Amino acid sequence: MERELLLLKEKCLKCTKCALSKTRHNVVFSDGVANRNLVLVGEAPGYYEDKTGVPFVGKAGQLLDKIFECVGLSRKKDVYIMNTIKCRPPDNRDPLPSEKEACREYMDAQLEILKPKIILICGNVALKSLLDTGFGITKVRGKWFDGPYGSKMMPIYHPSYLLRNDSREKGSPKWQMWQDIKEVKRMYDEIKG
């Protein structure tokens, strides 16, 4: 599994399939541990990710780490983290359909190699690419869906949305995220056995 991912990463680092390859500083392939249990798919690299080549290292990433830590999970031990798009769209605009199309093979291949039992779909961009139900994230978050390779997929809020919605009151996005991550941990423990 590691060797296959490494070969794919080498290919991805050289990719020039779309115009984002001209403006990127680094391809942002993945972080965390290659594993068959838990994978999170985010949207696209931002400023700090483009600078470092590591996904989710800016403010949103730091919040994501805290959310995992709350239930005893971490990217160092338990989670493989990747994005739908591997290169930063200028000014953090949403990726264009043509960019998503060009990058799709890498995301699909990562999932195919890992065949994870749980896929967390983080935010609307990943949702549209992986599970186009026609509904936005607020409607489908926290629900389990059947994914490829017998996986279970759960859409969850993107941490940058939580940074813009700071309330922890019952029913707020942060409160909902807390319910969702507890459910993720429950399923994680169940499938890990």
Per CB under 6 A, residues contacting ligand URA are 28, 42-46, 49, 55-56, 58, 60-61, 83, 123
Which H/E stretch holds residue 121?
A: strand 118-122
Least distance between ligand URA and beta carbon 68 (Å): 14
φ, ψ for residue 5, nearest 5 deg: -65, -35
Contact 2, 67 (CB under 8 A): no
Instruction: Give the nearer residue to ligand URA in terms of CB position, either 136 or 189.
Output: 136
Instruction: Give the nearer residue to ligand URA in terms of CB position, either 83 or 151.
Output: 83
In the three-class reduction of DSSP (H, G, I as helix; E, B as strand; rest coil), residue 70 is classed as: helix
Instruction: Give the nearer residue to ligand URA in terms of CB position, either 44 or 111.
Output: 44
Least distance between ligand URA and beta carbon 8 (Å): 18
Least distance between ligand URA and beta carbon 84 (Å): 8
Least distance between ligand URA and beta carbon 95 (Å): 10
Q: Which phi-psi region, left, alpha or beta, contains residue 138 (left: φ > 0; alpha: ψ -120 to 50)? A: alpha
Largest CA distance in the chain: 46
Rounded CA-CA distance 157/75 in Å is 18
Least distance between ligand URA and beta carbon 88 (Å): 9
Residue of this chain nearest to ligand URA (CB atom) = 42
Rounded CA-CA distance 167/41 in Å is 25
Least distance between ligand URA and beta carbon 17 (Å): 19
Instruction: Give the nearer residue to ligand URA in terms of CB position, either 129 or 171.
Output: 129
Instruction: Give the nearer residue to ligand URA in terms of CB position, either 45 or 116.
Output: 45
DSSP 84: S
Instruction: Give the nearer residue to ligand URA in terms of CB position, either 26 or 37.
Output: 26
φ, ψ for residue 71, nearest 5 deg: -110, 20
Rounded CA-CA distance 134/189 in Å is 30
